[in-house]
Amino acid sequence: MKVNDDVEKKLHDRLTRGKKLSREEQALLNDWYKDQDREEMETLNRFTIRDLDIEAVQKEINTVLTQIRTTIEHIQEITKENSVLRQEIAAIQHQLIQKTIAQPA
């Protein structure tokens, strides 16, 4: 694994932006891609589905889903409260308009 791969990253950036690379640059980039693929496969191979505690993962998912449901309920309550407040504000505005119209100048 190469510690500093700035050159390769810059070559990759150039290539993805449609710039032409020299043969040497393309060869360097191809080697870097191979190294990246190898490192990725090594990382993926370290973890398998057998390494996961399925019950623990499901419990975590259920916990998150419960938190999401609670948040949704809270948002729904706030939405209802906002609706009531909007109606009250509209009524007050209407009263102010009526008082303004009714007052002689």
Reported as a single tens digit per residue, the pLDDT across 67-99 is 999 999 999 999 999 999 999 999 999 999 998
- For residue 102, pLDDT over 90 is answered with no
Q: Residue by residue, what is the 3-state secondary structure of the chain?
A: CCCCCHHHHHHHHHHHCCCCCCHHHHHHHHHHHHHHHHHHHHHHHHCCHHHCCHHHHHHHHHHHHHHHHHHHHHHHHHHHHHHHHHHHHHHHHHHHHHHHHHCCC
The per-residue pLDDT for 89 is 97
| pLDDT tens digits, 18-50 | 999 999 999 999 999 999 999 998 888 877 666
